[in-house]
Amino acid sequence: MRIVLQRVQKARVEVSENTIAQIGAGLLLLVGITHDDTETDAKYLAEKCVNLRIFEDDAGKMNLSGLEVGAELLAISQFTLYADTRRGRRPSFVAAAPPEESLPMFNKFVEFLKSLGLKVMTGEFGARMTVDFINDGPVTIILDSHFR
């Protein structure tokens, strides 16, 4: 499982020009799922996302976690995180799990996030979405459960 995590001031996702989810200050999580991901991967990354100390304390130092600041979360499934661009000009997505595998795993990841007590919103799985956000910092971190 691979995640691009961005600390945001706010974020929202639209489908067909309708806002379907939005958050205030927190984390935008772009989530890619591959064939051999398990619930262990989902739980590991959910806990990693909310416990990373990437929010500023009173001294302006990144020293607080999403749990400590009550971050809001917007998770969006993104199969393109498993693009293979090594050959040719068109990316291959064979490393991305198909929808029948990735949707249940994405839902499990979201369940793990919610169990940690933060507000969690999601995009619409499989839909063409427009994501609008203001990156805070900017802080952008790539997480991969296969590189622990």
Q: Which residues are catalytic?
A: 80
Task: Give which of 81, 65, 73 is closest to 31, Cα–Cα.
Answer: 81
Burial class (CB in 10 A: 0-12, 13-18, 19+), 111: middle
